[in-house]
Amino acid sequence: MLLVPCPHCGPRNSADMSYQGEASSRPDPSSTTPTEWREYLYMKHNPAGWLRENWYCSSGCRRFFTVERHTVTSEFREPPLPGSKTPRPTGDGADPARGAP
Amino acid sequence: MADQPQFRSSVTNPVATPAGAPALTDESSLTKVSVRARVGASPLGVDFTRTDRRDGVLIAGIRPDEWLLLGAGAGVEALLAGTEFDGSVNRIDVTHSRLCLRLSGVCSASALEKVCSLDFDDTMFPDGATGSASVAKVSSDLIRDDQDGEPSYLILADRSFGQYLYDAIHDTTTEFSSAWPSS
Ligand SMILES: [Zn+2]
In this structure, what DSSP letter does residue B129 have? Answer: B
At the fourth CATH level, which superfamily is domain B23-175? Probable tRNA modification gtpase trme; domain 1 (3.30.1360.120)
Answer whether residue A62 is part of any domain: yes
Distance from CA of B183 to the nearest CA of A (A): 37
**How far is residue B161 from each of residues A96, B98, B101, B155, B174, measured CA to CA in Å?**
41, 9, 11, 12, 20
User: Up-side HSE of residue B6: CA atoms within 13 Å toward CB?
Assistant: 1
* Confidence band of B43 (pLDDT split at 50, 70, 90): confident
In this structure, what DSSP letter does residue B21 have? Answer: S
Q: By residue range, what is the domain housing residue A19?
A: 3-70
Q: Give the pLDDT confidence of B137-157 residue by residue, as tens digits.
A: 999 999 999 999 999 999 999
What is the number of CB-based contacts under 8 A between chain A and chain B? Answer: 35
**How far is residue A52 from each of residues A94, B7, B115, measured CA to CA in Å?**
12, 47, 31
Distance from CA of A75 to the nearest CA of B (A): 20
- Judged against a pLDDT cut of 70, whether residue A88 lies above it is answered with no
Answer whether residue A100 is part of any domain: no
- Torsion angles phi and psi, residue A43, rounded to 5: -90, 95
Q: Is the dihedral of CA B137, B141, B147, B150 positive or negative?
A: positive
Mean pLDDT, rounded, for B59-70: 94
Q: What local confidence, expressed as pLDDT, does residue B86 receive? A: 82
Beta-bridge partner residues of A3: A13
- Judged against a pLDDT cut of 50, whether residue A101 lies above it is answered with no
Q: What local confidence, expressed as pLDDT, does residue A82 receive? A: 56
**How far is residue B9 from each of residues A17, B5, B99, B154, measured CA to CA in Å?**
29, 12, 8, 16
Domain count, chain A: 1
What are A's interface residues with B at a Cβ cutoff of 8 A? 8-9, 12-13, 15-16, 58-63, 82-83
* Confidence band of A81 (pLDDT split at 50, 70, 90): low
Answer whether residue A97 is part of any domain: no
- Judged against a pLDDT cut of 90, whether residue A83 lies above it is answered with no
Collapsing DSSP to helix, strand or coil, A29 comes out as coil
Mean pLDDT, rounded, for B51-80: 93
Nearest by Cα to B15 from B6, B7, B25, B5: B25
- Judged against a pLDDT cut of 80, whether residue B69 lies above it is answered with yes
Mean pLDDT, rounded, for B93-103: 95
pTM confidence score: 0.83
* Confidence band of A99 (pLDDT split at 50, 70, 90): very low
Mean pLDDT, rounded, for B13-38: 92
Nearest chain B residue to A13, by CA: B117
Mean pLDDT, rounded, for A72-94: 61
Sequence-ordered list of residues with C-beta below 8 angstroms from that of B134, at least 6 positions apart, any chain: A13, A15, A16, A59, B116, B117, B140
H and E: helices and strands count for chain A:
1, 5
Q: Which amino acid is at B17?
A: T
Q: What local confidence, expressed as pLDDT, does residue A24 receive? A: 83
CATH code of residue A39 = 3.30.2270.10
